[in-house]
Amino acid sequence: MKTEGNLFDVLIESNRKISDKLVARNLAELIFNRFPHRDENSDIIWSHYDEEFINISLERLRYIVASLYKEFESKGVKPGDSVILVDLMVTNVSLIAVFYLALVSYGCRVMLPMWVETNEVSNWIKLIGCRFIFAPEEEISRLRGYKREKIIIELIKESARENNIPFYDIERDFGTKKYLFESIPKGFLLRDELVQRILRETDADMEMSIFTTSGTTGRSKLLVYTQRAYLNTIAAYEASNLYNKGMGGRNFIDIFTHTVSIRAVINALWIGKPVCIVTSSWIKDKPEKVVPLLARMKPEVATLGPSSFSFIIEFIKVFPELKEKVFSELKTVVSTGAPYSAKTAEEYQELLGLKLHNAYGLVETQQVLTTLLDDKPINIFNPSMGKPIAGVQLGLKRFSGDTYKLFIKTCFGHKYMIDPERREKIYPEEFLDTGDIVRVDEEENIYYVGRENRDFFKNGFGAKIPIATMKRYYKELY
């Protein structure tokens, strides 16, 4: 729906509205409560421990989470505490995933760095008021090689000592592996007093996750999300009918420490269809270990960056049997996080018979546009950015000629940003300035043009000139 606004030249929003009522009061309810639409016997996570495939059922996840709550309490971890959870992408991601879910549903404020910048750890501790650091130290120490990761762990431990905060191993100190595999005692949940207390005392406005930006424009900034933001993504997907438009199946993710992946895990909890996770470094370094796991998982949905999709294509070209062995049930592929690649889209169409969809989002906003909501087939040579998900408003301010600056308002974006330079919280405006320049046609299709500060410059008359245009011009001359 397009309208003219006072703040913007064009305002576009979804015709669908999300309910004011949350799907759950908190994340703990999402795990422990029964929902009419969700099968109590469903699996939530398909992953692995070492090379062994594991399926983590809803029942198993509840047992792990309830058990970890008791471990947290015994070590003085309290709801509301700020903590850092380290994933170096070389250890069993299954342990990281269940530990993360236990922490955030317990009410902790969990920093999950995309990349661990060892020179920033002490700053992060101070910026978020960190009280504990958790990492897979024991597992990394058992790995042959991986000198870099072992050094990183030692540097993190040193930062913890310097700041006088505890450093814990997620396996040795909490028994996470034990809870993953041991027999589940019958009837432990409803009578568990600590679980009931967490269900009562945590709420949707508690801060849940802290993510780092990519750092491409300087020091990584920290983005803080509440539980409400992720509960609202469920409501937005429901209102947009996205679970029935390709996003309701077994979802493969290739890196855990990202808003896209955390949303996939939360979606899995809601719909009762497993998210498929493998250790990130294995995908390129140990494909012989990943292939048997993916053959068991047979993903139905993949939301990845273009480089990850390109890697999969090259892999299939080398091993054509993977098309049937691994990807025979793949039905939805969505490119996000970087400019869409027509070449990759052509190859997916040719090799797998699938349309590569496009989606747009920032770490600050999560995913807000997707071509899955467009009634018309995607044009891979001139793809739009997609239609807005329910709960999203797009504000367009004229930039130059037929281009606009893109602003986004969403009910599932970050609460505030912590700037490491200014050392303060920066709350977003009602509409976030994305820094992106777009075009829009009469049918409200939005097309990506470039970044304001990277892809344009002003000439002597103040006109904004696309750098790409100048490159094409001078290429023809020279």
Count of beta carbons in the 10 Å neighbourhood of residue 316? 18
Whole-number pLDDT of residue 354: 94
Instruction: CATH number for 13-444: choose from 3.40.50.970, 3.40.630.30, 3.40.50.12780, 3.40.50.300.
Output: 3.40.50.12780
**Residue 474: predicted pLDDT:** 41
pLDDT value for 20? 86
Q: How many CB atoms are located within 10 Å of the residue 193 CB?
A: 7
Pairing of the two strands 43-49 and 275-277:
parallel
Q: How far is CA 401 from the centre of its chain?
A: 35
Output the pLDDT for position 217: 56
CA separation (Å) from 39 to 183, 443, 471?
21, 40, 56
Residue 96: how many CA atoms within 13 Å on its side-chain side? 32
CB-hemisphere CA count at 13 Å for 174? 33
The residues pairing with 223 across neighbouring beta strands, listed in sequence order, are 211, 417
Task: Per residue of the chain (478 residues), give pLDDT as tens.
Answer: 555 557 899 999 998 989 889 999 999 999 999 999 999 999 999 999 999 999 999 999 999 999 999 999 999 999 999 999 999 999 999 999 999 999 999 999 999 999 999 999 999 999 999 999 999 999 999 999 999 999 999 999 999 999 999 999 999 999 999 999 999 987 776 668 999 999 999 999 999 999 998 655 578 899 999 999 999 999 999 999 999 988 889 999 999 999 999 999 999 999 999 999 999 999 889 989 999 999 999 999 999 988 888 888 988 998 899 999 999 999 999 999 888 999 999 999 999 999 999 999 988 888 999 999 998 999 999 999 999 999 999 999 999 889 999 999 999 999 999 999 999 999 998 999 999 999 999 888 999 999 887 544 443 333 344 444 444 434 544 3
pLDDT, position 465: 42
In this prediction, residue 2 carries a pLDDT of 56
Cα–Cα distance, 389 to 410 (Å, whole number): 9
Cβ neighbours around 8 below 10 Å, total: 20
Task: Output Rg (C-alpha) for the chain, integer angstroms.
Answer: 23
The pLDDT assigned to 337 comes to: 84
C-alpha span between 308 and 312 (Å, rounded): 6
Closest CA to 230 of 27, 427, 372: 27
Instruction: Return the pLDDT at 29.
Output: 98
Beta carbons of 203 and 227 less than 8 angstroms apart: yes
Tokens read off for 254: 């290739």
Spatial CB neighbours of 387, under 8 Å, sequence gap ≥ 6: 14, 369, 370, 371, 373, 374, 444
Residue 268 has what pLDDT? 98
Predicted local confidence at residue 185, as pLDDT:
86
Question: What pLDDT score does 79 carry?
Answer: 98
Which residue in 242, 187, 209 sits closest to 387, CA to CA? 242
The β-bridge partners of 357 are 334
Distance CA 77, CA 245 (A): 41
User: Which amino acid does the sequence have at 51?
Assistant: E
Q: Which amino acid is at 425?
A: K
Ramachandran assignment for 241, one of left (phi > 0), alpha (psi -120 to 50 degrees), beta (any other): left
Q: Is the dihedral of CA 183, 187, 191, 196 positive or negative?
A: positive
User: Residue 41's pLDDT is what?
Assistant: 97
